[in-house]
Structure 1
Amino acid sequence: MNKKRNRTVSRKKIQNAVVELLKNSNLENLKVTEICQKAQINRSTFYDNYTDIYDIADKLRKYLVDEYALTQNNFKKPCFSKLLQHVKDNQDLYRLFFKLNLQNGVAEKFIDNHEEKDHYDEVFFRNGIVAIITEWLKNNCSEPINNIVKVIDAHQNCLKNKKTI
């Protein structure tokens, strides 16, 4: 039991160190030594838990995707304000989410699959949401959520009301 607890504590220290180091660095530039120093662990502890930096990155990616999916599944109906509140409450998590290029599915839940749409409209809308959230994160989510929702809703309404020529 104690061994399992120690392993969990070590993994958490390593994960926290990686998240902290990735704020100012890219994954390719991280070194195991740097992670161990930040986490205050031995190299052997790192290698007892992960095979290399890419192994921990893959596990962090999976955690972030699972965490995002869980929050989305908790919404009965897609709601931008709930998504944005979650982003605001978990800014470091979402910064890492975007830094690791995991944003592909962020807007999927907000696209109405019952309507016939142009593929490029969907791409435009998806990327627009990602760009807005990314910019909002750069500004530490200082803009009120309802202002961001208004921007997204306005663009979504434009796409819904688009007349074909």
Structure 2
Amino acid sequence: MDKRILKTKEKLQSALRILLEKKDVSDITVSSLCEVANINRSTFYVYYSNIQDCFEEITDSIMDEMRTLLQNNLNPSQEGFLLVYFRTARKYKNVFLAIHRQGVHNSTIQKMVDINNDWLHGELFIPTSSNRLEYNFIFSGFYGMVEMWLQNGCKESDEQLINILKKFYVVNR
């Protein structure tokens, strides 16, 4: 891809991450994004149809990063998955907060679940034999804990979060 295209998209995505510090994705306008990025609206529309398209490109990139980290993990484990997840969430806190503000049943969370399905079932803490009610209970608890952690500024360490999960889920079976 052309370096100019990459640079422009990078500016737009960076501006969106900045705006996410103060606003929900749904409250960000193309005009405000372009103003922060110092890019014309017409340039924005060359690359994206709307703000959500830009946001999804950011989240897809983050998920690719997570997938690569998991695949390169020489000692895959439940704790390894959780460490990758928490470190990535901390690194992209504003994006993860925006994802969580959209609710547990949004398309980005579903993509994340789909990408990490093998880890979530069996490897992590959701047995493959779980029915939908058990799965929803476990996932909603995890989701709620992460959301509160993000809202409170990620004060707890990765290890503290894993210890909380160990109290409620079977970790390292």
TM-score range, shorter chain: 0.7 to 0.9
| Aligned-residue RMSD, C-alpha | 2.9
Decide whether the 8 Å contact of 1:103 with 1:130 is kept in 2: no
Runs (4+) of structure 1 moved beyond 4 Å? none
Decide whether the 8 Å contact of 1:64 with 1:93 is kept in 2: no
1:163 aligned partner: none
The TM-score, its normalising length taken from structure 2, stands at 0.73
CA distance in 2 between counterparts of 1:124 and 1:45 reads 44
Which structure 2 segments of 5+ residues have no match?
none
Matched, 1:90 2:92: yes
CA distance in 1 between counterparts of 2:153 and 2:13 reads 22
Q: Which amino acid aligns with 1:81?
A: L
CA distance in 1 between counterparts of 2:50 and 2:83 reads 38
Matched pairs, number: 157
Percent identity over paired residues: 19
Decide whether the 8 Å contact of 2:70 with 2:84 is kept in 1: no
Which structure 1 segments of 5+ residues have no match?
161-165
**Deviations 1:105-153 (Å, cap 9, x if unpaired)?**
1874233276633432222111111111111111211113222111111
Q: How does 1:16-35 map to 2 (within 5 A)?
A: 16-35=14-33
Decide whether the 8 Å contact of 1:17 with 1:39 is kept in 2: yes
- Larger deviation, residues 30-39 vs 91-100: 91-100
1:6 aligned partner: 4
1:59 aligned partner: 57
Q: Which amino acid aligns with 1:22?
A: L
Which structure has the bigger radius of gyration? 1
1:110 aligned partner: 120
